[in-house]
Chains A and B, each alone.
Chain A
Amino acid sequence: GESVGLHLPTLSVQEGDNSIINCAYSNSASDYFIWYKQESGKGPQFIIDIRSNMDKRQGQRVTVLLNKTVKHLSLQIAATQPGDSAVYFCAEIQANQAGTALIFGKGTTLSVSS
């Protein structure tokens, strides 16, 4: 079936480094993608989203890149901080399809050491 996956289950970085978390998706009909951050004991928290008519979107210290040719999504975190330590999920959806819901990947655990 269709699925969203992440390349690496864990990523360890030093404080101040830039982090890149990758995600591959398989449903070519998906046109809306979201990155979530989940800290221990909490629900997933929205970070940034991107629609398929864009290939890059920037937020505060985060950038999402979308490569539709290879169905690849990445999240870049600049100057990673200890507070960025969490599990990161990518999710996809076909927008404007009533009754559909997000499909999530397995998640990448980001560990930031100071």
Chain B
Amino acid sequence: ETGVTQTPRHLVMGMTNKKSLKCEQHLGHNAMYWYKQSAKKPLELMFVYSLEERVENNSVPSRFSPECPNSSHLFLHLHTLQPEDSALYLCASSQVPPGSPLHFGNGTRLTVT
């Protein structure tokens, strides 16, 4: 039990599909994050929500759309993805202001065919 739960663990989707990744944190944190982890590359920050407001979007393509309905839940909506979007998508949470560790879920392994 990591305190941050991601579903599904694995997802295979075609380029024309629409799917959503879900993240839930049980730690009472007030910030949530999406990171992308590709082979041989550092973790890439995609989105940050602080106090349920999006405060950072690192020029992520619009085919990725985040949603944060409350401080405990975070979604990543996917549509018309490309094969190069195949990666491990990690959700994390923390307290804000920063200065405390991020706690990560175990990720969703996404394969785009």
Residues of A in contact with B (beta carbons under 8 Å apart): 3-4, 32, 34, 36, 41-46, 49, 51, 89, 93-107
In the complex, chain B residues whose CB is within 8 Å of the CB of A102: 43, 45, 98, 102
Mind listing 10 A-B residue pairs with CB under 8 Å? A32-B98, A34-B101, A42-B106, A42-B107, A44-B43, A45-B2, A89-B43, A98-B55, A99-B48, A101-B56
In the complex, chain A residues whose CB is within 8 Å of the CB of B2: 43, 45
| Interface status of B61 (Cβ within 8 A of chain A) | no
| Interface status of B75 (Cβ within 8 A of chain A) | no
Q: Known pairs A97-B97, A99-B50. 18 more at Cβ < 8 A?
A: A43-B2, A43-B6, A43-B104, A43-B106, A45-B104, A46-B102, A89-B42, A93-B98, A95-B97, A95-B99, A97-B98, A98-B50, A98-B98, A99-B56, A101-B33, A102-B43, A103-B45, A105-B42
In the complex, chain A residues whose CB is within 8 Å of the CB of B96: 98
Q: Which of A45, A51, A105 has the most CB of B within 10 A?
A: A45
Which residue of B has the minimal Cβ distance to A100?
Answer: B98
In the complex, chain B residues whose CB is within 8 Å of the CB of A100: 48, 56, 98
Which residue of B has the minimal Cβ distance to A5?
Answer: B42
